[in-house]
Amino acid sequence: MHAKNEADQWIENHSEQLEKSKAEINQLEANLIKEEAELDKIRDSLKDKTEVFHAQIVVKQKELEPWTAKVNKKQAEIDLVTNERNMLAEKAEAVQNAVDEAVKTVESLMTDKEAKIAELRSLEEEKENVQAELSSCDKKLKNIEEQERKHRSKVMGARQKADEAKASQAASTSQNAVLDNLKKLKATGRFHGRLGDLGTIPDKYDIAISTACSALNYLVVDEVAQGQACLDYLHQQNIGRANIFVLEKLPSTIPAVQTPENAPQLFDLIKLKDLKFAPALYKAIRDTLVANNLEQANRIAFRGQRRWRVVTLTGQLIDVSGTMSGGGTKVSKGVTSL
């Protein structure tokens, strides 16, 4: 645009000069015509005297030569200015065409820009919709995963209960089968029965004794021969297996101990039907102590130089090795005759 303005200014300046030059040429042409007319007049009046005035004509022609040169010079200047003006006009036209093309390009770009802006807005709205849908799907997925965890936990709990029930039922069935078949021998005095059935314990300590003493399911006999007879009978009848306490092989003395915090021994809490079964009961329970809760159990289990085997009223057991067992949804109970 700046180049176009400069070209227009240049054309305007040289147009004024061109007009002045044209005016001078017109004046010179007028003078030339006037002189030629005068010359023709002289020639006409002196036709017969040509030779006489030839010298005068030559002089006049010489006088006209400077004017002819001036006319030619001015015409050359005019031609030069005209060419320059035409060149500048072409440049101005080219600049104008370029400007017009640039304007069209800008307009096209602006149109494309508006279209892109509209497309961007549409994509942003679509993005927001997709994000909202994705957020909703995430919430649904989390809810489904949470429900799946709950259901899985319920299924695992139910499966664990079912497995425990099956195992308990199988063990109970086997134990009952052994006891039922050995009742015939019991009548002959060859064995006394199941250790857990030979004593009672207050209901308060039922879970503790059932957790801490799995040997309450062992059988009790007086002599080795009686025990062997029971095992042979079970083998012959293909009934099952049994563990047996033989009283004659067990120490008859029960050591007295001082317990931490005067915690009761499970052994002292059971009332036996006959004191002769005490060695078998002590063999099964040893110096296991009873604690009211896990805090007390931890406190007394590792107190002093000696470690103690401690069971809580709710069935949590700390062994002398330091291992702890318990938890779950099912507790052991009912292994004594109460």
Beta carbons within 8 Å of 282's beta carbon, 6+ residues apart: 254, 267
One-letter amino acid identity for 283?
K
CA dihedral 125, 131, 134, 138 (to 10 degrees): -150
Q: How many Å separate Cα 252 from the centre of its chain?
A: 69
Are 175 and 196 a contacting pair, CB within 8 Å? no
Are 270 and 281 a contacting pair, CB within 8 Å? yes
User: Which whole number is the average pLDDT over 203-225?
Assistant: 91
Q: Range with the lowest mean pLDDT among 41-45, 152-156, 326-330?
A: 326-330
- Per the DSSP assignment, residues forming a β-bridge with 220 are 193, 245
Q: Does the pLDDT value for residue 161 go beyond 50? A: yes
Q: Write out pLDDT tens, residues 216-272.
A: 989 999 999 888 988 888 888 887 788 999 999 999 889 888 999 999 999 999 999
Are 197 and 217 a contacting pair, CB within 8 Å? no
The two three-digit tokens of residue 128, written as one number: 């927001």
Give percent of the chain above pLDDT 90: 24
User: Which whole number is the average pLDDT over 128-139?
Assistant: 87
For residue 171, what pLDDT is reported? 46
Q: Range with the lowest mean pLDDT among 15-24, 110-119, 135-144, 203-212?
A: 15-24
Most confidently predicted of 24-38, 113-127, 157-171, 258-272: 258-272
For residue 175, what pLDDT is reported? 56
For residue 65, what pLDDT is reported? 77
Q: What is the mean pLDDT of the chain?
A: 81
Are 214 and 207 a contacting pair, CB within 8 Å? no
Q: How far apart are CA 208 and CA 290, in angstroms?
A: 7
User: Which whole number is the average pLDDT over 42-71?
Assistant: 72
For residue 51, what pLDDT is reported? 65
For residue 169, what pLDDT is reported? 45
Q: Does the pLDDT value for residue 180 go beyond 80? A: no
User: Which whole number is the average pLDDT over 84-88?
Assistant: 85
**What is the Rg, in whole angstroms, of the alpha carbon atoms belonging to the chain?**
66
For residue 149, what pLDDT is reported? 83
User: Which whole number is the average pLDDT over 205-222?
Assistant: 91
Give percent of the chain above pLDDT 70: 82
More confident residue, 152 or 274: 274
Taking the CA of residue 266 as centre, how many other CA atoms within 13 Å lie in the half-sphere pointing to its CB? 33
Q: Does the pLDDT value for residue 98 go beyond 50? A: yes
Q: Does the pLDDT value for residue 162 go beyond 50? A: yes
User: Which whole number is the average pLDDT over 276-280?
Assistant: 94
State the helix-helix crossing angle for 50-187 and 224-237, rounded to 10 degrees.
Answer: 120
The two three-digit tokens of residue 232, written as one number: 């042979």
Q: Does the pLDDT value for residue 142 go beyond 80? A: yes
For residue 185, what pLDDT is reported? 62
Most confidently predicted of 11-20, 295-304, 327-336: 295-304
Are 168 and 176 a contacting pair, CB within 8 Å? no
For residue 138, what pLDDT is reported? 85
Band (168; pLDDT cuts 50, 70, 90):
very low
User: Which whole number is the average pLDDT over 106-113?
Assistant: 87
Alpha-carbon distances of 304 from 260, 291, 307, 308, rounded to whole Å: 9, 17, 8, 10
More confident residue, 189 or 201: 201
For residue 289, what pLDDT is reported? 95
The two three-digit tokens of residue 77, written as one number: 């200047």
For residue 167, what pLDDT is reported? 47
Q: Taking the CB of residue 314, how many other CB atoms lie within 10 A of it?
A: 14
- Helix extents (H) in the chain: 2-45, 50-187, 206-212, 224-237, 266-269, 278-285, 294-301
CA dihedral 109, 113, 115, 119 (to 10 degrees): 150
